Amino acid sequence: MSEINKNWPRWVFASISKHFDGKRQGLPLFIEGQHRDTRSLKDFIELRMDGPQFTEISRKYWRLYFEINILVQSTIDDNNYHRIHQNVGIVAAAFSDIVLFKYGDGPDDDQELWACAHLMQDTRKRQHLDIFHFGQIDKQCKLLQATVEGHYETFVTGD
């Protein structure tokens, strides 16, 4: 078994962050774990990733699999009951193939294209873009929450 490149997880996450940041259409975007003060925001989204998972298919040929989950939060607005659905639509439209680059400022980070992660779409394997609405999360808070989740894979060679 060959070794996993120590940069792969970071390059995947940096590329995902940049991808969704470029498609958020003005919605404030936070990365899970990032310090934030959302008290004055009517809407925001939070990016979360599980993975990547690594499977060596053959010598130095790897399958990378990861899941992206974006939390959508909107304040209840008596003038626009569609607000949460509009924001979920913006987020869902951003789920597309993701170009992965070697982002960073280290010696291995040349900013070059490294791979392309494909949004998995296979109903037999239950791989599809999922949208879940949780409704009002607390009777005292006028907040609605939903998530959009997609699963991705790519194949890379390791040195």
For the segment 16-50, what is each residue's pLDDT rounded down to a tens digit? 999 999 999 999 999 987 887 777 888 999 999 99
Judged against a pLDDT cut of 70, whether residue 159 lies above it is answered with no
Q: Is residue 2 part of a domain?
A: no
The enclosing domain of 93 has a CATH number of 3.30.2000.20
In this predicted model, what pLDDT tens digit does every residue of 100-135 receive, in sequence order? 999 999 999 999 999 999 999 977 777 789 999 998
Structural domain count of the chain: 1
3 belongs to a structural domain: no
**Within a domain: residue 1?**
no
pTM (global) more than 0.75: yes
State the Cα–Cα distance between residues 24 and 2, nearest whole angstrom: 38
Task: Measure the N-to-C terminal CA separation of the chain; round to a whole number of Å.
Answer: 12
Q: Which domain holds residue 135?
A: 8-157
135: left (phi over 0), alpha (psi -120 to 50) or beta: left
DSSP, res 106: S
